[in-house]
């Protein structure tokens, strides 16, 4: 098994760390910091290098969506990870500390919208300029 194949396999281990990802990148690439954007976020050379390295590795090595997601989750190190119990997910997500599986209704747009408008005591989200942001509404709900 090549170094890249071993690394890709390690992404699915619950104990894989972001430091391992950075060490792997340093072992095979000559990283040169440069300015880049991540959505609407602009980064000067040398800023937010973890994101740049992780996403760059995913693109250069043709990672699957799952592999890219696992690498990004390791970079972010969330304290809590809410997972839909109806989705088949790798052990590296379901077994990590802070992972919780929830019923699918927790991730439905209507439920999220109702919870947010109740919490904010408003009829809709137009005043916040986010009524079309369905993914953000589901995440916030």
CATH number of the domain bearing residue 66: 3.20.160.10
| Domain limits for position 69 | 3-78
Residue 50: inside a domain: yes
Are residues 14 and 71 part of one domain? Answer: yes
Are residues 62 and 9 part of one domain? Answer: yes
Q: Provide the number of structural domains found in the chain.
A: 2
Specify whether the CB–CB gap between 125 and 116 falls below 8 A.
Answer: yes
pTM summary value: 0.66
Question: pLDDT tens digit string along 9-30?
Answer: 888 887 888 898 889 889 988 8
Phi/psi at 82 (5° precision): -95, 125
Question: pLDDT tens digit string along 31-86?
Answer: 888 887 777 888 888 887 888 888 888 888 888 888 888 888 888 888 999 999 99
pLDDT at residue 1 tops 70: no
Residue 54: inside a domain: yes
Q: How many CB atoms lie within 10 A of CB 95?
A: 12
- The tokens describing 51, both together, are 């994101």
Spell out the residues 6+ positions from residue 9 whose beta carbon is closer than 8 angstroms to its own: 1
Q: Which long-range contacts (CB under 8 A, 24 or more apart) does 101-106 make?
A: 106/82
Residue 95: inside a domain: no
Are residues 73 and 22 part of one domain? Answer: yes
């Amino acid at each position: 098994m090549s170094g890249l194949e071993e690394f890709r396999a390690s992404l699915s281990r619950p104990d894989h760390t972001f430091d391992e990802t950075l060490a792997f990148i340093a072992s095979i690439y000559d990283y040169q910091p440069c300015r880049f954007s991540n959505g609407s976020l602009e980064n000067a050379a040398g800023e937010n290098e973890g994101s740049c390295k992780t996403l760059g590795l995913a693109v250069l090595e043709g990672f699957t969506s799952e592999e890219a997601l696992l690498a990004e989750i390791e970079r972010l190190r969330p304290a809590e990870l809410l997972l839909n119990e109806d989705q088949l997910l790798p052990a590296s997500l379901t077994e990590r500390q802070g992972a919780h599986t929830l019923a699918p209704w927790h991730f439905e747009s209507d439920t999220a919208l109702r919870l947010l408008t109740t919490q904010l005591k408003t009829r809709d989200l137009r005043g916040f300029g986010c009524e079309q942001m369905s993914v953000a509404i589901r995440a916030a709900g």
